[in-house]
Homo-oligomer: A and B are copies of this chain.
Amino acid sequence: MSQVLSEQVRGVRAFAALLKAHASVTSRLNALLAAEHGLTINDYEVLLRLSHAPERKLRRVDLADQVVLTASGITRLLDGLESCGFVERAPCGADRRVVYAVLTDAGLEKLKEAASTHVPQVDALFAERFDEDEIATAAALLERLGDRSRGENCAPGGD
């Protein structure tokens, strides 16, 4: 009866595992990050991206792309970080539509503080389950999955 429902199809199993792994891992790490530093994972990721950016600043639209959020999602997220003083706005001389998000010194400090617990926690979570080769393999595969440049037309039924 359930030909359609049986998971003989490979991708489905991997997808289900991705969903569960993500939910499981993020719910745990999110709780720790929130309790210890008052940040969400997305807050943390945004601070991290900014810290790596030239002059510690990024256009909001590029930030949105990097953390896979919509433009309005980034606006609201940055509202929070701005009100904490971790991020500032800076106009762009060349294009007045653009408002850069700039990591402040306080923001960098906050990031370092959060990283000091978050990085070991993340690492422990992986180290408990995988050896180094497996972590590297997982990272490489996941990076390919997240690469949006591939297969834009992936919708056999909808596009």
Residues of B within 8 A of A111 (CB): 5
Q: Per DSSP, are chain A's interface residues mostly helix, strand or loop, or mixed?
A: helix
Q: For the complex formed by this chain, how many copies does it contain in all? A: 2
The one of B12, B135, B145, B146 in contact with A11, judged by C-beta atoms closer than 8 angstroms, is B135
Q: How many residues of A contact B (CB 8 A)?
A: 74
A36 to chain B, nearest CB (A): 6
Which residues of chain A from 17 to 69 have a CB within 8 Å of any chain B CB?
17-29, 32, 35-36, 41, 45, 48, 51-52, 67-69
Let me know if A95 is at the binding interface, CB within 8 A: no
CB <8 Å contact, B126 and A14? yes
Interface residues of A (CB under 8 A from B): 2, 4-5, 9-29, 32, 35-36, 41, 45, 48, 51-52, 67-69, 111-112, 115-117, 119-130, 132, 134-139, 141-148, 150-151, 154-158
Minimum-distance CB pairs A-B, first 9: A23-B68, A11-B126, A17-B142, A20-B146, A11-B123, A128-B151, A21-B146, A21-B145, A117-B157
